[in-house]
Structure 1
Amino acid sequence: MRIGLMGFDFMSSNKGCEALTYSFIEMLIRLANGNTLEIDNYTYNESLGELSYKYPLIKFRYCKINLKNLKFLKEAYRNIKRCHIFFDATFGDGFSDIYGKKWNLKTDTIKQLVLITGTPLVLLPQTYGPYESKFLEKWAIHIIKNATAVYSRDALSAQFIKEICGYDVNVATDMAFTLPFNRSLYSIQDKKIKVGINISSLLWAGKWAEENRFGLTVDYVKYHRLLMDLLLEKGSYSIYIIPHVIDLNNFNVEENDYRVCKQIQNEYGDRVVNAPAFSDPIEAKSYIANMDVFIGSRMHATIGAISSGVATIPFSYSRKFEGLYGNLQYPYVLSAKKIETDDALRTTMKWIENKENLKIAGIISTSLATKILKNFEIEIKEIMKL
C-alpha cells in the first residue's frame, strides 16, 4: 500500500512535531499487519533524517516541496494520484494562520493538490483555527468539506469548524499520547522532588515575545524566574530545565529552546540541571518520565509528561491547550492569557504541593486518551480498507 503524508516532520528540531510522526507510523505498522508499506513524505526538510532508518521494512520516498517549480507540481500530481490514501496532520496546530499567513498558504496548497488528484484526503487529529485572514479561513472550509474524513484533536476545534462551515467533524485527541518511552534510558539519582521545567524560546525572548504575539497576561520570564527562585529557596526541590525544541546546528535561531536552557543554566549554575540535547522524541519523553512534576509550555512536552505518569502543569499560551486537556477532563492547565503573573505563581505552587492529585487526574485523562485513540485507529483501518 502506498500512502502519502504531509504535515509530519521526520527530521525536526521540534520534538513535538517528531512525536506525531513516530506515533502515527507506529499506528500504520499495526494497521498494515505485515503488509508492505510505502510512504511518500511531502516535506520542506532537506532529508528524511534518521527516522527512515529506524523502520527498515517501510519503503520511504522523500518528496521535497517546491511550489514555485512547475516540474515539481506535475510530478507531485502524478505521484499523489498513485497513492492509495493521503494523510495530513499539519504538524498538529498548523491548520491556522497563527504562525503566519505564508506558511498556512504553503501547507494548504499541498492539501488542495491532493483534492485535485482525487486521492482520498484524511485530516488527522489536529487543532483548527483561529484565522485572521478571511481568505485563508474560506480555503480551510473548502478543504475540510472536501476531505474524505476530518478529525479534530479537541472539542473546541470541532466547535470552531461547526461555527464557520456548519460541518460536524470527528473528535479524537493528540496521537502523541501513544508515543513509546523507556524511563530506564536515564538514571537520575535524586532524593529531592524533581521538577521539570520546559521553557519555550518563542515566549522567552525574541520578536514574538517582545510583541506579545500570543497575548499573554503572565510575564513569562518573570514567572519562571520567580518560580525557580521559590522552589530553590524551599530546599526540597531539584529543578531540571528541559528543552523540547533543540537545534544544535543553528544554535542562535529564535525557535531553539536549548539555547534558552543554556542561558538559564549559565545564570543559575549548578543549582539547576540542564537536560541533554535529545536526538528524538522518545529520548525526550523517556527523560521527562523521570520527573515528579513537570511544567511545560510546549504542548507535546506536556503530553509526554502526562502520558508517562508525571504530575503535569501545562502552561497555556493558546486555546489548543484548553481544547486538548478540556476534552480529556484534565483541569490543571495554567491559562496564561487569563490570569496575572502573581496568580499564576500561586496556583503553580499550590498544584506542585498537591502533586499526587495531578498525577491521579493525569492517569485518568491518559486512560481516556488511550480509549479515544483505539477507536480512532479502528476508524482509520476502515477508511484504509485493510
Structure 2
Amino acid sequence: MRALVLWADDRSPNLGVRALAHGSAALVRRAFPDAEVDLQNFGRGAAPVPIGGWRPLLREHVTGRHGLKTWLAGYDLVVDTRSGDSFADIYGLQRLTAMTALSDLAVRAGVPVVLGPQTIGPFGSRRGRALAKHTLRRATTVMARDHVSAEGARALGREADVLTTDVVFALPVPVVERTRDVLLNVSGLLWNPGPHVDAGGYRSTVEQLIEGLLAEGRHVTLLAHVLSSSKTDDDVPVVTEIARRHAGVDVLVPTDLADVREAVASARLVIGSRMHACLNALSVGTPAIPLAYSRKFEPLLDDLGWRATIDLRTSAAPVDEVLRLAADDALLDGVGAVRERAEAALGPAEAALRKLG
C-alpha cells in the first residue's frame, strides 16, 4: 500500500500541521500496518515539482507538463486532509481552488481519494459551495471530524461516510511525570490584527489571564505551538515579549511534535489558543481549556464530551470563565473519557480505509 497524504507537512513550523501529518499517517497505518506514506503540502514534498497556486495546477490539468497525474497514479490511496480546516472558503477562494485542483488530478489518475477527518465548511460564497459540492461528489470516502461538519456535508448534497474525530488521537502517548503547572499557549495569529478576533481584546485577555493565574498562586509557562518562521503568525516572538513583562513566567519553545507532546503531558493544565495545542494535551491525558476563535473548536470537542471551551468571539468575560475552570479539580477526571470516546470514533475511520485496500 502506497498512500499520499495531501496538505500535511511534518516539517512545518506549525506543530498542529505536523500533528495532522503524523496523525494521518498513523491512521493509515492502523488500517495498513506496512503502508508507505508520503506527504505533500504547498511547496516541496513528494511531488516531482513544488506545489504552488491554483493557476499552475489548473494548467497541469490541460498540459500535463510536470507529470503530476502520472505521479499521483503511482499511489493506491490519497488522503486529502485540506489542512484539517481548509475545506472552507474562510481562508480565501484561491486556497480552496488550488486544493480542489490537486485532488481532482488524483481522481483523474484513478486513485481513490478520501477526505480525511476534517472540518467541512463554512462556505459563504457561491463559488465556494460549488467547489465543495464538486469535491464531495467525486470523493470515494468523506470523513467528518465533528457532527456540524457532517451536517455541512449533508447540506451540500453528500452524506459523510464516517463521523470520526481528529487524527491527533491516533498518535502514541508519551509517558512523563507532571512537573509543570499551567501551560498557556498564546497565538501569534490572534495577537496580530486579523479576521478572527479583535487583536486588542485578545491581548487584554491574555495579560489579564496571566495576572489572574499568578494571583491564584499558579505557575505559568508560556507555550509556543507555532515555531519561528518567516510568517507573522508564529508564537515565539509573542510569548517572549509577554514573558518580559511578567516576573516568574517561563517560556517553552518546543523543538518538534514529540517535544510538545511530552511538554503538554508534563503539565497539570493547558490553556490554548491553538486548537491542536489543546488536542495534543487532551490526547495525552492533560486537561485543556481551549480559547476558541472559530467554529472548528466546539463541535469537535463537544462530540468528545469535553465542554470546557471558551469562545473568544462570544464570551462576555473570558478571563473569569477560564479562571473558574482552571480551579475545577474535576477537569482531570474527565480526560480519560475523552480518550476513550476518541479511540472509539477512530474505529470507523480505520475500517473505512481498510475497505479500500
TM-score, scaled relative to structure 1: 0.85
TM superposition shift of 1:256 = 0.6
CA distance in 2, matches of 1:26, 1:162: 28
Alpha-carbon distance in 2 for matches of 1:227, 1:287: 21
Cα distance in 2, alignment partners of residues 327 and 338 from structure 1: 20
Query: Would the alpha carbon gap of residues 131 and 274 (structure 1) be closer, same or farther in structure 2, given more than 3 Å must change?
Result: same
**Which residue is equivalent to 1:321?**
297
The gaps in structure 1 that reach 5 residues or longer are: 49-59
- Asked whether the equivalents of residues 28 and 353 of structure 2 are also in contact (C-alpha less than 8 Å), the reply is no
Match of 2:327 among 312, 336, 353: 353
What is the letter of the counterpart of residue 42 of structure 2?
Y
SS in 2 for 1:319: coil
How far, CA to CA, are the matches of 1:61 and 1:110 in structure 2? 11
The answer (yes or no) to whether the contact 2:5–2:24 under 8 Å persists in 1 is no
Match of 1:23 in 2: 23
User: In structure 2, what residue type is equivalent to 1:261?
Assistant: V
Cα distance change on mapping 1:299 and 1:72 into 2, 3 Å? farther
In the alignment, what sits opposite 1:65? 51
Asked whether the equivalents of residues 180 and 282 of structure 1 are also in contact (C-alpha less than 8 Å), the reply is: no
Report the Cα offset of residue 177 of structure 1: 1.5
The answer to whether the aligner puts 1:371 opposite 2:317 as a matched pair is no
The RMSD of aligned alpha carbons is 2.2
CA distance in 1: counterparts of 2:179 and 2:153, whole angstroms: 48
TM-superposed deviation, 1:335: 1.5
1:116-139 deviation digits (Å, cap 9, x = unpaired): 222111101000111232112111
Q: Give the direction of change, closer, same or farther, for the CA distance of 1:63–1:42 in structure 2 (3 Å limit).
A: farther
Q: Give the letter for the 1:176 counterpart.
A: V
2:205 — aligned with what? 223
The answer as to whether partners of 1:223 and 1:344 remain within 8 angstroms in 2 is: yes
String of CA shifts for 1:239-268, please: whole Å, max 9, x gaps. 010011102x53xx3111111111112222
- Is residue 297 from structure 1 mapped to residue 297 from structure 2 by the alignment? no
Counterpart residue identity of residue 191, structure 2: W
Indicate the percent of aligned positions where both proteins have the same amino acid.
25
Report the Cα distance in structure 2 between the residues aligned to 1:375 and 1:31, rounded to whole angstroms.
Answer: 11
| TM superposition shift of 1:323 | 1.4
Correspondence list, 1:43-54, <5 A: 43-46=41-44, 48=45
Q: 2:288 maps to which residue?
A: 312
- What are the within-5 Å matches in structure 2 for residues 1-386 of structure 1? 1-34=1-34, 37-46=35-44, 48=45, 64-66=50-52, 68=56, 70=60, 74-165=66-157, 167-184=159-176, 189=179, 194-205=181-192, 207-208=193-194, 213-215=195-197, 219-234=201-216, 236-247=217-228, 249-250=229-230, 253-269=231-247, 271-276=248-253, 278-340=254-316, 343-354=317-328, 356-384=329-357
CA distance in 2, matches of 1:196, 1:73: 49
Structure 2 regions of 5+ residues with no counterpart? none
The 3-state SS of whatever aligns with 1:124 is strand
Cα-to-partner distance string for 1:82-133 (whole Å, 9 max, x where unaligned): 3212111111101112122222221111112122222111101000111232
**Contact in 1 for aligned 2:113/2:140 (Cα 8 Å):** yes
Contact 1:40 1:63 in 2 (8 A): no
Whole-Å separation in 1 of the counterparts to 2:205 and 2:41: 37
**Cα deviations by residue, 1:362-385 (Å, 9 ceiling, x for unpaired):** 22122100111133212211222x
Change in 2 beyond 3 A, CA 1:63/1:122: farther
Alpha-carbon offset, residue 215 of structure 1: 4.7
Seen in structure 2, the aligned counterparts of structure 1 residues 338 and 90 have a Cα distance that, compared at 3 Å, is same
C-alpha distance in structure 2 between counterparts of 1:155 and 1:294, whole Å:
25
Deviations 1:249-304 (A, max 9, x none): 53xx31111111111122224x101003x232121111011111111111111011
Q: What CA distance in whole angstroms lies between the structure 2 residues aligned with 1:104 and 1:189? A: 42
Contact 1:217 1:337 in 2 (8 A): no
**Residues 17 and 83 in structure 2, CA contact (< 8 A), matched pair in contact too:** yes
Residue equivalent to 1:56: none
Aligned mates of 1:370, 1:93 — CA distance in 2: 21
